[in-house]
Amino acid sequence: MLEETFRHFRECGRGREECQILWLSSWEKPEVIARIVHPKHAAHGGGFVLDDLWLNDFWMELGNTNIGIRFQVHTHPQQAFHSPTDDEFPIIHKPGFLSLVIPNFGLGPVGFKDAYLTEIQPNGGWQQVAISSRLVLT
Amino acid sequence: MDHIDQTGKHEDNDGRPPDRGGAVADENGCQPPDEALEHLRKAEHDLEKALEKEHEAEREIVQAEVEIKEAIREIEHAREFTIEILYDGVKKKFEVRIEETVKHLLDQAIGAFGPLPNPHTLALYKDGKELPDSQTIKAAGTKPHDVLLLRPSTVKGGA
């Protein structure tokens, strides 16, 4: 799953554009990431925006398959952090939702080195959390 | 004198089926065998039963058509009905009134699914289009059993 995520970042972003991947799990087993999705999006070196029609179809698909979004994962050109745009326009707004940022357009080694994980708090703010506290690779 | 109605059934002038149990003879005066008469009586009986069923089915069709028209009228003119809203793969039902605003429903949905922080970034969508907050449920074209999407108006990121 992690390798597939990085593969998308490299193929789609080509070291020049940001890219996003969503990690999904079923509502029966929300703690296990079961599927990844590469959203249709427009991107440039400093950002991306999801396609509106794609988002509608995807929302319906989630409802029809009883699947929810657990993580949004996206790349930054250099350092990984959560920008004001990242804070303001996530795909899910629920407290507990997680956003993982991968540095260097995902061109580095597959893994979480220098990555940044943050979580929506009950007050709507984002709080950085340790990756190991939320993610276990199996 | 016998006649044949539209169904092909033989009837006497008084509307009753002909009595085949009495003496029936052909032009040569030969009596048909009892077995044949019995078959004829049974066939006529079956025909009557089938016609009854046909009439009953016709009545049921008329009744069903009336009920369908009534259901369509209720859907088109209902003032209060149930819809579903979908967020993050979860569907929830909401009772709405046609005079309520989309904003009122949006607030209800945000409360039911969350509470979700930063509600100003969320909107309700129907048939791929964002519903304006100030519209009423009726003006938004929302119908009973519609599924609306609660989703962010924009999803984006940037360094």
Which residues, 6+ apart, have CB-to-CB distance to B55 below 8 Å? none
Whether residue B23 has pLDDT greater than 50? no
* Token reading at B114: 């969350």
Q: What CATH number is given for A2-132 in this structure?
A: 3.40.140.10
Q: Give the amino acid at B132.
A: P
* Token reading at B67: 């009920």
Cα B62 from Cα B125, distance rounded (Å): 38
The answer to whether the CB atoms of A94 and B88 lie below 8 A apart is: yes
Residue B51 to chain A, least CA–CA distance (Å):
47
**Long-range contacts of residues B48-51, Cβ cutoff 8 Å, at least 24 apart:** B48/B9, B48/B17, B51/B7, B51/B9
Task: For residue A92, give the nearest of A65, A64, A128, A118 by alpha carbon.
Answer: A118
State mean pLDDT over A112-133.
Answer: 94
Report pLDDT for B25: 54
Q: Which segments of chain A are extended strands (E)? A: 20-26, 35-37, 41-44, 47-50, 67-75, 98-102, 116-120, 126-128
0.90 surpassed by pTM: no
Q: ipTM score here?
A: 0.91
Extents of the domains making up chain B: 23-76, 80-152
pLDDT band for B6, please (50, 70, 90 cuts): very low
Topology annotation, domain B80-152: Ubiquitin-like (UB roll) (3.10.20)
Extents of the domains making up chain A: 2-132
Report pLDDT for A138: 83
Q: How far is CA B131 from CA A106, B71, B126, B139, B145, in A?
A: 37, 26, 7, 10, 17
Asked if A53 has any chain B CB less than 8 Å from its own CB, the reply is yes
Looking at the DSSP bridge assignments, the partners of residue A116 are A101
Report pLDDT for B22: 47
Which residues, 6+ apart, have CB-to-CB distance to B16 below 8 Å? none
| Per-residue pLDDT tens digits for B89-147 | 999 999 999 999 999 999 999 999 987 877 888 999 999 999 999 999 999 999 888 99
Q: Which of residues 65-94 of A touch B (CB under 8 A)?
A: 65-69, 72, 74, 76-79, 81, 83, 85-86, 88-94
Report pLDDT for A101: 96
| Per-residue pLDDT tens digits for A76-121 | 999 999 999 999 999 999 999 999 999 999 999 999 999 999 999 9
